[in-house]
Amino acid sequence: MAGDFPRSPRLLKGGLVAYQLPELLPTLIVFQYNPDEVTRSLQSRGGQGGGRGDANRTDGPPDETLTFTVEIDAADQLAEPTKQENRTTVQNGLHPVVAALESLLYPSYAMVVANEALALAGSGLIQGEQAPLALLVWGPHRVLPVQVQSLSIKEQAFDVQLNPIRVSADLTLRVMTYRDLTITNPGYWVFMASFTQKEVMAAMNTIGDASAINNLLPF
């Protein structure tokens, strides 16, 4: 723990930041405990058609998904129920953080109500219902626009009012790229910044002795 030793580095917390555009007031979901592991899967978007010279052609960046498990526990808050900052958890358990996670897959409630009203009025101007723009924040070198593909929640313990007080959430996120987002969407520029950083990091790679391979290169 960072607090055990004064000179130990402060541990950064990962999390998700969600924007229901055009509103710019985000919903913040800070991981109470950082996931122990993150599985990343990249699948090439190979170009279709073309001749032999197009064998390495790609149709944009790869499809990337990230999967991990977030553990949430209300034990510390319930141990000190009189603290002002713990009152919400004491009264509601982990319902608020579970609702925040689930809201990543839902359209805006206000938009749904507005569309229902327009439909009842016979209007054909029904607006598209979109889920929030979500950003995965996983340290300074990895901030990515993502779409929640799946969310599986296991409620493992409950208080006397049946509020969940220990939760395990399995998340599968798909990285949104410049092929998915318009140039006017803030997520477009978040991805492009990450893309640029990836290029810089690849150029910094010094792992391994390159001389043994250089001697075998045919050209």
Give the domain ranges of the chain: 2-204
Q: Given the structure tokens 């599986």, which residue do they identify? A: 152
Which three-class secondary structure state does DSSP give residue 210?
coil
CA atoms within 13 A on the CB side of 7: 0
**Angstrom distance (rounded) from CA 148 to CA 186:** 17
Rounded to an integer, the average pLDDT of 14-25 is 88
Mean pLDDT score across all residues of the chain? 88
Query: How does pLDDT run across 168-214, given as a tens digit for each residue?
Result: 999 999 999 999 999 999 999 999 999 999 999 999 988 877 777 87
pLDDT at position 2 over 70: no
Task: Check residue 9 and give its pLDDT.
Answer: 66
**Angstrom distance (rounded) from CA 33 to CA 149:** 22
**Angstrom distance (rounded) from CA 208 to CA 140:** 25
Query: How does pLDDT run across 127-174, given as a tens digit for each residue?
Result: 777 889 999 999 999 999 999 999 999 999 999 999 999 999 999 999
Structure tokens at 25: 């007031």
pTM: 0.83
Question: Which of the given ranges, 7-11, 53-57, 116-120, 209-213, has the highest pLDDT on average?
Answer: 116-120
